Amino acid sequence: MLPDREGAARQYAVCERFDDLGKDDPDRTYRLGIMGGTFDPVHIGHLACAEQARDELGMDAIIFIPAGVPVYKKDQKVTPAADRLEMCRLAVASNPAFDVSSIEVDREGDTYTVDTLRQLRAHYPDNVELFFITGADAVMSIMKWRDSAQIAHLAKLVAVTRPGYAPPEEMKRVLRERTGFQVSFLEVTGLDVSSSDLRRRVADGRSIRYLTKEVVFRYIEEHGLYRNDEEGERAWS
Ligand code: NAP
């Protein structure tokens, strides 16, 4: 388990703000949005997406869960999990409806969504519904994910698209009709920003100010992340 910002051991199982979600009123159904992603780095598109899901789909809380070791990115450089986690923490701190969980970062080995959802399902009471929110590109490959049939039982999916990049109707139909997944598609205004674009901009010495939260922008600068120089190389190790 990673130490928290003050260095003390954490006292919570999933996250600081929402460990007790569902307990206030056992007769009410609570909706918990889980933002799954690599978040390398988190940006305003992710935040707009979480907020839009909260607002339009009536979520009670949204938890950002950065992947520890993303399985499909083993051939790519991915920023250390501790940095991605901290940037998410900084990004969501000011929104009382959002929090961050380190459960995927704390878990040993490759990150599989099914393990995360099993862990959350075991923690939260039955009156908490789980919604796994992620990019539509990622959702389109979900049938190939580990234990995908189990995922369909554990959570509903929210597939987020950028304006003008709607997934093909055929894919949507297959996903809905043949797999048992319950999927909502959410077109998010402002999701034109992408993590890869932010990384490229920093490497090219261009500004990313206002494309992510100021605190995240400062963290990236202070820690030399994504730079295409000696400082950037040190940040990987
Ligand atoms: P990705 O391929 O890096 O992302 C695909 C697209 O979705 C990118 O355009 C990305 O934009 C966007 N995106 C990612 N997370 C998003 C979010 N929460 N909200 C809105 N857009 C988002 O996907 P990834 O980050 O590796 O994986 C996404 C999630 O699926 C993670 O939780 C991962 O663990 C899970 N996953 C699980 C398995 C498995 O269990 N076998 C396999 C693959 C993925 P940005 O680059 O700007 O974020």
pLDDT of 236: 62
Q: How far apart are the first and last CA of the chain?
A: 20
Distance in angstroms (rounded) separating the CA atoms of residues 208 and 38:
18
Q: Does the CB atom of residue 212 touch ligand 1 within 6 A?
A: no
pLDDT profile of the chain (237 residues), mean per 10: 50 95 96 98 96 96 95 89 98 98 95 97 98 89 90 93 77 74 85 91 96 97 90 64
Distance in angstroms (rounded) separating the CA atoms of residues 196 and 112:
22
In three-state form (DSSP H/G/I as H, E/B as E, the rest C), the secondary structure along the chain is: CCCCCCCCCCCCCCCCCCCCCCCCCCCCCEEEEEEEECCCCCCHHHHHHHHHHHHHCCCCEEEEEECCCEHHHCCCCCCCHHHHHHHHHHHHCCCCCEEECCHHHHCCCCECHHHHHHHHHHHCCCCEEEEEEEEHHHHCCHHHCCCHHHHHHHCEEEEEECCCCCCCHHHHHHHHHHHCCCEEEEECCCCCCCHHHHHHHHHCCCCCECCECHHHHHHHHHCCCCCCCHHHHHHHC
Identity at 196, one-letter amino acid code = S
**Which residue's alpha carbon is at the smallest distance from atom 6 of ligand 1?**
135
Question: Rounded to the nearest whole angstrom, what is the distance from the C-alpha of residue 179 to the centroid of ligand 1?
Answer: 20
Q: Does the CB atom of residue 70 touch ligand 1 within 6 A?
A: yes
pLDDT of 7: 47
pLDDT of 1: 44
Question: Rounded to the nearest whole angstrom, what is the distance from the C-alpha of residue 198 to the centroid of ligand 1?
Answer: 16
Q: Does the CB atom of residue 102 touch ligand 1 within 6 A?
A: no
pLDDT of 71: 84
Question: Rounded to the nearest whole angstrom, what is the distance from the C-alpha of residue 138 to the centroid of ligand 1?
Answer: 5
**Atom of ligand 1 lying closest to residue 194 CA:** 47
pLDDT of 111: 95
